[in-house]
Amino acid sequence: MGIIGGGPAGLMLSHLLARRGIDSVVVDDRTYTEIEQTVRAGILEADSVRMLVDTGVSDRVLREGDQHAGIELGFDGQLARIDFAGLVGSSVWLYPQTDVFVDLAAARSRDGGDVRFGVSDTIVDDLDAELPVLRFADADGARHEIRCRLLVGADGSRSMCRHRIPEDRRQQSFREYPFAWFGILCEASKSAPELVYSHSERGFALISQRTEAMQRMYFQCDPDTDVDAWSDDRIWAELQARVNVNGLELIEGPITSRTVLRFRSFVCEPMRYGRLLLAGDAAHTVPPTGAKGLNLALADVRVLAESISQFLASGLDRHLDDYSRRALQRVWKAQHFSYWMTSMLHLPVERSSFDLRRQQAELRSVVESRAASAYLAECYTGWPR
């Protein structure tokens, strides 16, 4: 098995396949340090946590992660809690994606997995042949050509693998958004015990956390925002203005990282062409509101490991189609949820009092209706397998 991409999706797949006795080689053109140092999202669904623990990757998430039994929604001068535990008997964990990556890479290394970071000239070919080929050059320049039973593109949103599928054999659905998130890391203690999703007249803000001493926050901005034009003081003033209306005051501290995250919804269907399968961001992207990206990638590879093992045992292509069909059902539910959370919480660019008041009423409808709150809780904590 050849797996292109050594992020959480590729590494988890390799780990799950190894547990089924299936060998794989994982290649990534980024170095270990590059991946480890990229700031990514931080929320794991309960099933994602179970997958890490129950398949023997690591139980560090249980010791160092923070279990969150709800979130706060801030709007129209108030904070309202969505009680995941009470509504749907579930919860999520705050545990950064980079830690998931570190745990998975350590588990692969511990179990003797073949994972190569820092490769170059990666190419996949003969995708509709019986044995497709993976070519790459190692970090030391040695060239390799490996014939594999299957190839898996887990190579992120700019996926080289996806682009190798003929255009007339993939349907791509897109949505662009006219806003982005300004994301920061700061040295401060926690401003709130759980995540706060705050709707305001100045636009959306999200108060998240990392550790006791380091926090992660975001606010809605123009996609062309120049982060260098924003001083610490200006960032804090903007964040405070967006949460104060809802009765929250943030604990401030030095800002150590600032980036603009663009929003996109994207799906490539089917998630299979010949002997190539796509997983995670290579096949789909969601806007970050709702924190579904990493969870979807892990859900993909859980189904994929099963389908690959059935395919190898039977030689029947239908198991590969089954993977795409099953994975896409969850992908589209997550697309809808991420789109809904995004459109409910972010102010349109041409903001009118109608938009503002309608969104406030939508949020009020959600928090005052047990059914609507339970729906949000169900989606946020993750759908059953």
> Is the Cβ of residue 216 or residue 284 nearer to ligand DHB in the bound state?
216
Q: Among residues 10, 74, 290, 382, which is the contact residue for ligand DHB, using CB under 6 A?
A: 290
32 is catalytic: no
The reply on whether position 105 binds ligand DHB by CB under 6 A is no
Among 5, 42, 74, 382, binds ligand DHB (CB under 6 A): 42
Q: Which of 197, 218, 273, 323 is catalytic?
A: 197
Window of 13-21, 25-33, 269-277, 284-292 that interacts with ligand DHB by CB under 6 A: 284-292
Q: Any idea what the Cα angle at residue 131 is, between residues 130 and 133, rounded to 5°?
A: 140
In 3D space, the residue among 366, 362, 365 whose CA is nearest the CA of residue 377 turns out to be 366
Name the residue type at position 284: H
Q: Which CB sits closer to ligand DHB, 66 or 306?
A: 66
Q: Applying CB under 6 A, which part among 35-43, 184-192, 316-324, 356-364 lies near ligand DHB?
A: 35-43
Active site residue 197: yes
- For the question of residue 178 being annotated catalytic, the response is no
Q: Is 191 a residue that touches ligand DHB (CB under 6 A)?
A: no
Q: Least distance to ligand DHB from the beta carbon of 289, Å?
A: 6
Q: Which of 122, 208, 220, 381 binds ligand DHB (CB under 6 A)?
A: 208
Tokens standing for 89? 């008997």
Residue 200 in contact with ligand DHB, rule: CB under 6 A: no
Interface with ligand DHB includes 195 (CB under 6 A)? yes
- Tokens 């010791």 -> residue: 63
Question: Which residue among 180, 291, 296, 327 contacts ligand DHB (CB under 6 A)?
Answer: 291
Task: Note whether 8 binds ligand DHB by CB under 6 A.
Answer: no
Find the part of the chain contacting ligand DHB (CB under 6 A) among 171-179, 234-242, 282-290, 303-311. Answer: 282-290
User: For this structure, is 8 an active site residue?
Assistant: no
153 binds ligand DHB (CB under 6 A): no
Whether 339 is catalytic is no
Nearest-angstrom CA–CA distance, 268 and 278: 9
Residue 289 in the binding site for ligand DHB (CB under 6 A)? yes
**What number of other Cβ atoms are within 10 A of residue 337's Cβ?**
20
Task: Determine if 41 is a binding residue for ligand DHB (CB under 6 A).
Answer: yes
The nearest distance, CB 217 to ligand DHB, in angstroms, is: 9
Q: Does 216 participate in binding ligand DHB (rule CB under 6 A)?
A: yes
Choices 60-68, 145-153, 286-294, 342-350 (CB under 6 A): range interacting with ligand DHB = 286-294
If one asks whether residue 288 binds ligand DHB (CB under 6 A), the answer comes out as: yes
Number of residues that bind ligand DHB (CB under 6 A): 11
- List the structure tokens of 128: 């509709």
Rounded CA gap, 261 and 210, in Å?
18
Segment interacting with ligand DHB (CB under 6 A) among 134-142, 274-282, 287-295, 348-356:
287-295
Structure tokens at 33: 């340090």
Binding site for ligand DHB (CB under 6 A): 41-43, 195, 206, 208, 216, 288-291
